[in-house]
Structure formats: structure tokens, C-alpha cells
Amino acid sequence: MVIPAKDEQDRIAATVRAAAEIPAADIVIVVDDGSTDRTAAVAADAGATVVGHARNRGKAAAMETGAMAVSAIESREPSRNAPRALLFIDADLEESAARVRPLIDPVLAGTADLTIAVLPPQRNPGGGRGLVVDLSRTGIERATGWTPRQPLSGQRCLTRAAFTAALPLAPGWGVETGMTIDLLRQGYRVLEVEADLHHRVTGTDWKAQLHRGRQYAGVMRALTTRGVRPSLPAQLRRGT
């Protein structure tokens, strides 16, 4: 299990402890991506193996660093030398991280190469107008013919072969969109799975809008570099 994290000292301990409850997750890695708080120390105290970046490098880089850390553990511990499936989850899932098992089973059973979590309505209010989600969804559909329900879900389990095939990951916030397109185009089996997971929902203040702007740019870059010309988001087509 790989958990990219930045400035998550208030939530990371609960996420790590919940992750450790899953029998299939025998390695829990937290990638501290340039945090300015005590994320790394708190994660280590909760029992995670912590690796990190001195400065923030973005989610894709954190995912790649986490996968490399798993490989390093496998190589130096003979009892752990079998290549593992990789499960990526967000750092703010807290106690709900214990309920990611539905993502793992199809990959370990060999019926999917990549599973993507479909989350229920979240307990906390918030959220935007869906522009980034719509951009990613329509872009993936144009590129592959497959229409995902939650294209930006960061809760993903995949085989090591699939992860390797997706490298290099699309930078920044385009990582999920790029990964999905790249694997589908190569014939890997992608499956969305419902999972009762809950995380912090982005609000509506100016910082949240800035975050969504960065997300939009990241997804657009992932699409255009893959030769996809996404249509105008539905909300803008309706003039809302």
C-alpha cells in the first residue's frame, strides 16, 4: 500500500492504522511529498515505512517513489521478494481506509489489472461544479471508448506489470487520467469497484478554486499529450 501525503499530519495516523488492518497489505509506505508539517513523523509513529521528497514534486512523482520503495523492500528481504500488486490510497481516508479490500480482490484473483474505487456520496459537504471530472471522463471516453464513473478517483489497485506499463506517469493531477488511458490502450483490464471510502472534500473558497484550476490544467495536459482533444465540459456547454 502506497499513500502519497502532503501536510496531512491530522489524518495520516488514522489512515495508516486502518491500512495496517488489511491482511493483504503487508507493506505500508507513506510518501511525504515535501510536507511543511509533521506528516512524516506522525506516519512513522503510526507504523508506516516513510520515504519522502525534500520539496513537493506532485502526486505522480510520489506514486513512483512509493513503488520504488516497495521494490527496495522486496529486494533486501528474501521473504518478500515476490512482486506485489500496488494499492494507492489518499492520505485523508482515515478510518475508512480499512474498507479498501474490494479493490484488492479482483487484482489478486487475476480478473482485473487495474481497479478504481467508486466512492459513495461523501459525509462532508463541499465539492465543485464537476468541470474537472467531466473533462477527464469525456477525454477518457474519446481516447478509449470507455466511460468511467469516477475518473479522478485516487484509490487504485494494479498489478506490478500494469504499473510498469503506465510509466512514466502523467505528471501532477493528470496522473489518474493518463494512467487509465495508457493502460486501456495497451489492452489492460480496468474495472471500477464500489468501496465505502470517505475523505476530505475540497471546499469552495479561493484556495479550493485554485486547486481545481491546477487539477484542470493537469488533466488537460494528460489528454493533449496523448493526442486527445476533449470537448467543452457539459457545464460550459449549458452556459451554467
Which CATH number does the domain housing residue 208 bear?
Answer: 3.90.550.10
Q: Is the peptide bond before 168 cis (omega within 30 degrees of 0)?
A: yes
Mean pLDDT confidence for 61-82: 86
pLDDT band at 25 (very low <50, low <70, confident <90, very high): confident
Mean pLDDT confidence for 21-36: 94
Grid cell 484473483 is found at 109
pLDDT, tens digit (0-9, with 9 covering 90-100), for 150-201: 999 999 999 999 999 999 999 989 999 999 999 999 999 999 999 999 986 6
Q: pTM to 2 decimals?
A: 0.89
**C-beta neighbour count of 216 within 10 angstroms:** 18
pLDDT reading at 238 higher than 70: no
What pLDDT is stored for residue 140 in this prediction?
97
Distance CA 155, CA 93 (A): 10
**Among 31-35, 77-81, 90-94, 212-216, which is the least confidently predicted range?**
77-81
pLDDT reading at 224 higher than 60: yes
pLDDT reading at 240 higher than 50: no
Domain carrying residue 114: 2-237
Order the strands of the 2-5 sheet from edge to edge: 49-53, 29-33, 2-5, 86-88, 156-158, 114-118, 190-194
**C-beta neighbour count of 237 within 10 angstroms:** 10
Question: Domain tally for the chain?
Answer: 1
Mean pLDDT confidence for 116-139: 82
Residues 6+ apart with CB under 8 A from 144: 180, 181, 184, 185
**What is the DSSP secondary structure assignment for residue 136, as one 8-state letter?**
H
pLDDT band at 220 (very low <50, low <70, confident <90, very high): very high
pLDDT, tens digit (0-9, with 9 covering 90-100), for 8-21: 999 999 999 999 99
Using CA of residue 199, residue 167, residue 32, residue 47, what is the dihedral sign? positive
Nearest to 111 by CA among 159, 152, 154: 159
Mean pLDDT confidence for 74-82: 74
